[in-house]
Structure 1
Amino acid sequence: MVDTHCHFDMMPAPEAYIAKMEAEGNLVIGVTNCPEHFNIGYNAVCKYRHIRLALGFHPLLAKEIEDQLNLFQLYVDKTSYIGEIGLDFSREGILSKHTQLDCLHSILTCLKDKNKIISVHSRNAERELLDILVEYNIKNVIFHWYTGKLSVMPEIIQKGYYFSVNEAMTRSVSGKKIIEHIPLDRILTETDAPFNRKCDLLKTYQYLAGIGCSKQKIYSNFTDILKRLDTSLKRG
């Protein structure tokens, strides 16, 4: 199975978790919330065949970690995986909107013309985030746990971007409606564990199979992105 977005570095026993995922043959991308966390975990994760660590800069932490932008630039060429980055204009994040935007522009300037897989957070800022991604011509983007307007989705799809789906989405009316609007060749899967308590990948796969998106199709979607990456960085 494929988990394109989880926070295994925030779990009580990260090494035990990733060892279990590796033994089961699951493909897992562990996103991070800041460059310092990426650096701490990098060497421990590199030895695994199926586990990857992404370089992140979480928008809700923008004010706290703004001084780590230089570290993002320092580490960006160590991995093919970026996340979690993006924007959050919800009640929780709106007060840091301008800092988030400044940080995102710095990050995308750094990523421009680089071939990465990028997992983005877009809560209440889907339109703004999409416009900025397009401005910088960013490719291989996965909209993690999309909760935005259906009207924005066709433009996300037209740009060739993907959506990662989790169990929680399959159990809510709004989540199911969003999934219905995703073409089968743009569906990926995630857990967002440990923050998402409804994170059973098997149940997500079972739901998707019921709408015609097989386990093989999800794997094929993911490998299609991998084929675009710089060969030297695929293991990063």
Structure 2
Amino acid sequence: MIADAHCHLVGFSEEELVGLEGILIAAVSEDVQDSRRTLELARRRRGTLAFVGIHPWRAADVQEEDLRAVESLVPDAAGLGEIGIDGDHLETMSMQLEVFRRQLRLAREYDKPVNLHCLRAWEECLDLVLRHDVRSAVFHWYTGPRDLAERISGYGFYISINAAAKVQRRHAELAASIPMRSLLVESDGPYEYRGLRLTPLMIPGLLDLISELRGISRESLEHAVAENFHDAFLGR
């Protein structure tokens, strides 16, 4: 089973979606409108887990009605995401933190997993997730310290490696060292990075790369990642 742990599925055309059939996808959202579209897509696309929420880049413009709208969608969603904080946007950090905390409380209340954006704020995100007693968390496109990755794994959470590991050396190094019990793979499609348009179709190539880096068979890696995907998003 090929599984993409973090993808903005609503960003793909209908024609592109046809080409993604057979791939299990955790589809994340960026705002209320995106969340509604993701839920609708999940109703008609087999193998889609819909995540709702407000991205930290959108936090500065969030109104109370937006947070209430997200809450109304949570019962029908697989989880909350893409949520978190971004250390590159310190000018909006106070609002980012407020929106993130509100959504973590929803995750705890409704017992939902979270799909996290924690760029340059990895430790702060982990601390908040632990404080809010969230059941399951995925740290998407992880580029933080190796020792922190060990801590994240030790708490039973998950770390996803992006298809950009093909061109992002630091990320590839982490792909070789993250504890297997926590390893997931993702595309973050249709994001564009260093000339790559990322899509779930790149996941098989990413699995090949990771299996080579770790010196294990592609089959055993795919099996382990599939089990992690199930445990992270569908419950142990």
Partners of 2:53 and 2:78 in 1: CA distance: 12
Deviation for aligned residue 1:226: 4.6
Deviation for aligned residue 1:41: 3.8
AA paired with 1:217? Answer: A
- Does residue 144 in structure 1 map to residue 140 in structure 2? yes
Match of 1:220 in 2: 227
| 1:26-80 residue CA offsets vs partner (Å, 9 max, x unmatched) | 1012111012211134223212221222102100110123441111111111112
From 204, 207, 210, give the equivalent of 2:206: 204
Aligned length: 223
Give SS of 1:221's match: helix
Deviation for aligned residue 1:156: 0.8
Identity %: 23
Match of 2:77 in 1: 79
Match of 1:158 in 2: 154
Please, what TM-score do these two structures have when normalized by structure 2? Answer: 0.87
Partners of 2:30 and 2:176 in 1: CA distance: 30
Partners of 1:42 and 1:27 in 2: CA distance: 15
- Does residue 132 in structure 1 map to residue 131 in structure 2? no
Q: How does 1:55-74 map to 2 (within 5 A)?
A: 55-67=52-64, 68-74=66-72
Match of 1:232 in 2: none
Match of 2:5 in 1: 4
Partners of 2:17 and 2:169 in 1: CA distance: 32
Partners of 2:38 and 2:235 in 1: CA distance: 25
RMSD: 1.8
**Residues 51 and 79, structure 2, Cα contact 8 Å, conserved in 1:** yes
**Unaligned segments of structure 2, at least 5 residues:** none
**Unaligned segments of structure 1, at least 5 residues:** 230-236
